[in-house]
Structure 1
Amino acid sequence: MSDLLAGPADIAAGLAVHGADAVDRSARAGLVARDVPARLAAQDPTLWGADAEAAARGRLGWVDTHCRSRDLLPQLAELAAELGDLDHVVLAGTGGVTLAAEVIAGCLGRPLTVLDSADPGPVRAALADRPARTVLVLAGPSGLDPTTDAHLRVWRQEWQDAGPEADRHVVVVAPPGSELAALADELGAVLIPTDPEVAGPWSALTAFGLVPAALAGAPVTELLDEAAALADALDRERDNPALALGAALGAAAAGGRSTVALVPDGTGLDGLRHWAGALLGAATGGRVLPLAAESPDAPGATGPGVLTIGIGGALAPGVTPGVAADVAVNGPLGAQFLTWSYAAATAAAALRVDPFAEPAAASTDAPADPPPSSVDGAVEVYAPTGAPADLAGALRWLVDGLGPDEHLAVTAHLDRFADAAAAGLRPLLARGTGRPVTFGWGPRHPSHTDGRARHLQITGAVTDDLAVPGRPYTFAELQAAQAAGDRWALAGRERPVLRLHLTERAAGVAQLLDTAGRTRT
């Protein structure tokens, strides 16, 4: 990394990108020849071709949403003061709308409880933590999806004895005119509208990211200031770190290095790699495979076909000795959000894909599962037709079948806090197979959108379920339906899926880690 830092860099507003030109020295020149910097800064919707123009026309507001978001600051300050006695902030939402707020709060050291799945464990934990002093932030791009509806219902039941003041416990963040905005009016809750020209993971610096973070006490004005300071560089051909990063991403993918390992460099902002990965995956239509690695020397973070990018908050990365990244991105969080958004859009332009295409949603109307193929300790194995029935054999079948352009995608529909050890499967499988392995928590990780993967889905038994008030199902049943919907969607795409169900979660996770550690290609 020291050699990387000694080389040329693009620097603006305290954010530096090192090593980008070394990926492909001609990549930036090609983008400049197409006038990409100026056209993107001017929000030109024709950058990605005629087929993408209609969608892009209403989705480029992220370029300057940091300016419009300043209008929110007086309302946020007033709301934070009004709700000052509610010191437990719970954010409920799905589909990635919670990612940016979680990153902001985590990177800036502010407490924020995020509920983005139907697993009853985190819901019970949140309900037990100062319910009378909780403000529930409901966030969504349109209507109230079943998971967020369940969160709202269980909290309203908790507050049902609070009387007419219960509505002050709810804040809704949604686009104006949406079903969720109408619900806010019905509830008598505060509605904070989102920027209608920004959607999905691009919305970090809109109300989706700022409202929960501000209520949790994060200095969101500083984030907007940091983004604004960088914005002046976006139309430059040089000293434009966002252009340099986008050129490197596009060139790497076009040149066979389609796996992008995002690694923490030891200078903070560790959680940013999860948001940046979600953005890159969505913006490049699967041409870039983002891999959030645990450390710079983690299995799969380096190697052939991999572009390794170190992410941090300072200009002097402190990485593990002897481990080199290809590119280093260092600077303040607000500038990082704008840099990665611009870079993702630029990489999409280089690869000539539509960065705003909407993936198909998974169905929750899936057929019933057949009996397990086998039971091994605390693990039920649901092996596809033609695969070995036993745990070790089925897992080996899954990884041995990986084609040259495929990777293994592990999705755990579990409690990402109590069952956090399950994430250890990623490095173990990557070390044992020498192949790209991703890991995500369902349903925040939309595995059904990935067309180049073989899939390992992990589900788990629930011993302390929770009813959804006013609905004919429980949280565990809703979670099981979502996992089944993902499997059904993958089956429709003819992607191989191995499901492993943990009949006892702690024992099952330990058993999976042991089996994965013994898996070799």
Structure 2
Amino acid sequence: MQRLTVSTSGAASDAVRRHLPPLVSDGVAGKLFAKDHTLWGEAAEEESSKRLGWTDAHDVSRPLVDEVLALRDEFLANGVDRVVLCGMGGSSLAPEVIARTAGVALTVLDSTDPAQVAAALADRLERTAVVVSSKSGSTIETDSQRRAFEAAFREAGIDPASRIVVVTDPGSPLEAASRAAGYRVFLADATVGGRFSALTAFGLVPTGLAGVNVAALLDEARAAADVLAVDADENPGLVLGAAIAGGEPIKTYLGIVSDTTSIEGFGDWAEQLIAESTGKDGRGLLPVVLPIDAPEIGATLPDLQVARLVADAADTPAVGDEIAVSGPLGAQLLLWEVAVAVAGRIIGINPYDQPDVESAKLAARGLLDEQPAPTPAAFAEGGIEARGTDDVVEGRTTVASAVDALLAALPEGGYVSVQAYADRTRLMVLEALRDLLAERSRRPVTFGWGPRFLHSTGQFHKGGPKVGVFLQLTSKEDIDIEVPERPFSFGSLIAAQATGDAQVLEAHGRPVLRLELTSPDRDATALLELLRAI
């Protein structure tokens, strides 16, 4: 089995030298795996006392394997070989990296974009099983997606109960409703928070049904736990936690680079785990998913710590001022969870709450209820309509000048966040904006697809240091889909989510520029051309 190894150099090694000895002498690793809820201080005890089930999820989840495989065989026997996952945040990010790394097809629907929903509904419905994953059962995106698939199955003459599988917490409203509807239900461990749930039913059910060897994944985590639970200088979880959070001063930005690793899409999962766990009380770590040739790496930013995922960190140790991490996926999922728990202790925050996530949800629900008229555009250039905070759009007449104003608002130590409320399966060209803006700003730039980032880095954007500026991209699709038995459509839902989040950011004093692509395929390319010409 591939070795689980963490190598450090430069400032990361200095951080380890400072923090590793007290972590070991305080017995942090042993206490963590003994589920000691006092590790993060008195204020965190209530929440942490009910959120430490992730430390033995690799064992607790083992009985799921045979149940999942039996259902998969049943589906295959009936000609059902396509699996769609409807979920958000921790319910979708871990399954996606697990399936991609295994090379297994899994359609992840973690969007309310009507074009992306329509594409998922139209693809081989007669061969499709749908996994609906939600801890609370009240997540508006997942509830809406479930309703859309139920209606599509009925219209096609397919009994939804024969195709829909539900993953939720015991006692949730979704459990009761699903059992009443005759759906297959898998219950997750209620003592595991969403972003720590990779090795629970939320990570294992959809990927196991899709064809991943989930037993091997648990084996990898089990072997890692034997090392991660030991209070020793060689504990990779303690080393990684100290390296990412122990800088003096703390390095706010953690650049995650997939270099020679075979793990696919790991940064997107780690993004939620780290940002939502640490970004609060005006502090925290913001993961920045970087390509190997990212402008930020060459810029030698003093507040950016680079962590590379490599094939073998023992054979190719960290150089310069970086961290190198290697190991099989199951082991790394547990490793990074341990590291984030350790980082929370070092920073002095509760890694298990997310106090600022709910604000955007409430704003979106308010807009759905009120259905206000759209705010007039400050200006339009071609098919791109611009709105935003006054300091960014007032007096501007071009996209380039508005982007210049947004970047001019960057404070010392700041970052740029690009948030695309659009079809991520079709408009991937927008991801090129990240490197363009990083080159221009010489600062870290994150890119998130909306609304899924609201369940991820959205916590840091509102609860972390007040140093972000925000470029919000929205798309006006020709297609829309009504949400069955709800007084809104997917188009109005995603618009409310974008507008609501912008309002919350503005209320927090963050500069926001919103660019709406009225013809998304055409305007996405036009936007890139406009910014390349600056």
Q: Using structure 2 for the length normalisation, give the TM-score.
A: 0.90
Q: How does 1:58-73 map to 2 (within 5 A)?
A: 58-73=50-65
Structure-2 residue corresponding to 1:251: 246
Structure-2 residue corresponding to 1:384: 389
1:170 counterpart = 2:185: no
Q: 1:512 aligns with which of 512, 527, 530?
A: 527
**1:83-137: CA deviations, max 9, x gaps?**
1221110000123420000110011100000111111222222222210111010
C-alpha contact 2:277 2:354 (8 A) present in aligned 1: no
C-alpha contact 1:202 1:279 (8 A) present in aligned 2: yes
1:137 counterpart = 2:160: no
Q: 1:16 aligns with which of 5, 28, 31?
A: 5
C-alpha contact 1:308 1:326 (8 A) present in aligned 2: yes
SS in 2 for 1:83: helix
1:102 counterpart = 2:105: no
C-alpha contact 2:312 2:326 (8 A) present in aligned 1: yes
Structure-1 residue corresponding to 2:332: 336
Q: Residue 202 and residue 483 in structure 1: after superposition, are their counterparts in 2 closer, same or farther (change >3 A)?
A: same
- Structure 1 distance, partners of 2:472, 2:234, is 44
- Structure 2 distance, partners of 1:513, 1:323, is 34
SS in 2 for 1:70: coil
Q: Which amino acid aligns with 1:100?
A: A
Shift of 1:35: 2.4
Query: Structure 1: 5+ residue runs without aligned partners?
Result: 1-11
1:428 counterpart = 2:436: yes
SS in 1 for 2:216: helix
SS in 2 for 1:262: strand
Q: How does 1:285-434 map to 2 (within 5 A)?
A: 285=279, 286-293=283-290, 295-301=291-297, 303-304=300-301, 305-315=303-313, 326-360=322-356, 361=358, 362=360, 363-364=363-364, 365-366=366-367, 368-387=373-392, 388-390=395-397, 391-434=399-442
Q: Which amino acid aligns with 1:306?
A: L
C-alpha contact 2:114 2:490 (8 A) present in aligned 1: yes
Identity %: 38
Q: Using structure 1 for the length normalisation, give the TM-score.
A: 0.92
Structure-2 residue corresponding to 1:188: 182
Q: Which amino acid aligns with 2:503?
A: W
Q: 1:216 aligns with which of 210, 213, 216?
A: 210
Q: Residue 164 and residue 382 in structure 1: after superposition, are their counterparts in 2 closer, same or farther (change >3 A)?
A: closer
Q: Which amino acid aligns with 2:119?
A: A
Shift of 1:315: 5.0
- Structure 2 distance, partners of 1:36, 1:245, is 14
1:239 counterpart = 2:234: yes
**1:231-284: CA deviations, max 9, x gaps?**
1112231321111111101113x4242211000113321301111121111121
**1:352-373: CA deviations, max 9, x gaps?**
1110122331121245442111
Q: Residue 96 and residue 441 in structure 1: after superposition, are their counterparts in 2 closer, same or farther (change >3 A)?
A: farther
SS in 2 for 1:261: strand
Q: How does 1:49-128 map to 2 (within 5 A)?
A: 49-84=41-76, 85-128=79-122
Shift of 1:441: 0.4
Report the number of matched residues: 504
Q: Residue 196 and residue 448 in structure 1: after superposition, are their counterparts in 2 closer, same or farther (change >3 A)?
A: closer
- Structure 2 distance, partners of 1:216, 1:494, is 44
- Structure 2 distance, partners of 1:73, 1:314, is 29
- Structure 2 distance, partners of 1:378, 1:199, is 42
- Structure 2 distance, partners of 1:128, 1:317, is 47
SS in 2 for 1:195: coil
Q: 1:41 aligns with which of 33, 36, 39?
A: 33
- Structure 2 distance, partners of 1:324, 1:87, is 47
Superposition RMSD in Å:
2.1
- Structure 2 distance, partners of 1:347, 1:458, is 32
1:497 counterpart = 2:489: no
Q: Residue 514 and residue 379 in structure 1: after superposition, are their counterparts in 2 closer, same or farther (change >3 A)?
A: same
Q: Which has the higher helix share?
A: 2
- Structure 2 distance, partners of 1:317, 1:426, is 32
C-alpha contact 1:448 1:489 (8 A) present in aligned 2: no
Q: Which amino acid aligns with 2:439?
A: R
**1:313-333: CA deviations, max 9, x gaps?**
5457889xx996711111100
C-alpha contact 1:96 1:444 (8 A) present in aligned 2: no
SS in 1 for 2:390: coil
